[in-house]
Amino acid sequence: MNNNSPQLSNNQLNIDKSLLPKTPQQRTVNPLAYAFMWIGDGVNLGNMTLGASLVVAGIATMNIVQTFMAALIAILIITSIFVLNDRLGYRTGIPYVVQLRMSFGIKGSIISSLLRGIPGIVWYGFQSWIGGTALNEIIKILSNESFDNVFICFVVLQFIQIALSLYGFHAIKWVEILISLVILSALVYAFILLLRNHQTVIIEKWINTEGTWGLPFFGFIMMFLGNYAAIFLSAADYSRELKSGISNGKRGLLYFVPITIAYGFVITIGAMLASVTGNSNPVKAFAIVVDNSYITVAVSSFIVLGAIAVNMVANIIPPAYVISLLTKVKYKSAVTITGLLAIASFPWILVQDSSAKGLGLFILIYSAFLGPIVAILLVEYYLLRRQQVDINELYNKNGQFAGFNKAAILAMFIGSAAAFCEVSLSWLIGFFVGGLSYILLTKYAFKQSPFRKGTIFEKK
């Protein structure tokens, strides 16, 4: 068994070249650009709202020590899973949709890949609509309210993102570096402003509050994990772009440091804003804190840039790979289709108050599958196959991984069912139950399965 690139021709593979393993020469993202990519993904309004959610009725549910301890625990877990799950993609250059074949089979991977692709498309549209709304506010102010059309701004923003994504990671790394620097500068300014003008209130209502180490503490960790559940699941899509020769420890730092910087800023400022204003909506809180007629432009610019940054990293590439796999279209066509499907997801419906419960249910349903899937992938690669995978077979439609792996699919559903038993800990429960179920099912239930070949359970 080996981790080498497939020797089959592109015609034999019947797959777009974007899904073939990346060679060392094709990897253009250096460590600095990779780090900025994760900073850009983290510095957005949604994550700032996570920090603001700590303050209820003007008083923080957790003090500053508890907040950062919970964040640190979550970031350490996120970093560990990233480094573990990105390793196969980093070593071999294969994308997530091909990695899934190792556990679920070529046909079975369609099901599990859709569980990552469909939510990505929906969130792509959702983030773009929020960004389009903010862009409309900017144009409305600059035009003295002679222009006011959110849908046009949404479509314009969407086509800008489609155009950027056509250039793949080459464009993404530069977009993320630029956006990260701009937003970080704005966050530093906001931090200094809040500390200078509202230090006493912040100390009283957040820093020195009693807080709790109970359920809200663990709930915050789960919310933090939930923000990254889909991203570290498809870690191979990112690590395959990173230049080769970087150790596991150094790659871990490329996740830990930027995520800590990004979340450290946005959570801190979110909590500080909510403490000062009593408002958990950062946009409205900024408007209260900074008495300036052009604050809407500044905040709206932050929202637009944040939406682009998140989409470029989390919501475009994974769905595009899924579409390329299912339809056999080329990468540029796939990212264009992804953008158009995001428009067709009707995101303007999702942002309405009446839709909030439905959106929450949608998040709950798909998130329940993410923990079991990542657990199955890790169990497969590290425990069952001892990091030895025949990459040629992953691309052979008539080979060992053809069809469905019943053990993986059943374990995924068992883990997901268990996850629904306790919503606040759904990802964690699904992760452990799904992983354990997969080990037991592979060993005892499907002894004639071809997927046992090359594992510790293969009959000698």
DSSP track, 31-72: HHHHHHHHHHHHSSHHHHHHHHTTEETTEESS-HHHHHHHHH
Phi first, then psi: give them for residue 242, nearest 5 degrees. -80, 140
* pLDDT at position 360: 59
What is the Cα–Cα distance from 321 to 328, expressed in whole angstroms? Answer: 10
Ordered structural domains, the chain, with CATH: 28-351 (1.10.4160.10), 356-460 (no CATH)
What is the Cα–Cα distance from 197 to 435, expressed in whole angstroms? Answer: 50
Question: How confident is the model over 210-222, as pLDDT tens digits?
Answer: 888 887 888 788 8
Residue in the block written with tokens 């354990």? 436
Q: What percent of the chain has pLDDT over 70?
A: 91
318, 117 in Cβ contact below 8 A?
yes
Reported confidence tier of residue 451, pLDDT bands at 50, 70, 90: very high
Reported confidence tier of residue 357, pLDDT bands at 50, 70, 90: low
Give the mean pLDDT of 196-224. Answer: 84
| CA torsion through residues 449, 111, 40, 279, sign | negative
244, 27 in Cβ contact below 8 A?
yes
CA 348 to chain CA mean position, Å? 22
Q: Please state, rounded to an integer, the average pLDDT across all residues of the chain.
A: 85
Question: How confident is the model over 105-157, as pLDDT tens digits?
Answer: 999 998 888 888 888 898 899 889 888 988 998 898 888 889 889 899 999 99
Short-list 165, 181, 183, CA closest to 313: 165
DSSP track, 357-421: HHHHHHHHHHHHHHHHHHHHHHIIIIIISTT---HHHHT-TTSTT-S--HHHHHHHHHHHHHHTT
What is the Cα–Cα distance from 66 to 220, expressed in whole angstroms? Answer: 10
Question: How confident is the model over 296-314, as pLDDT tens digits?
Answer: 787 788 888 888 888 888 8
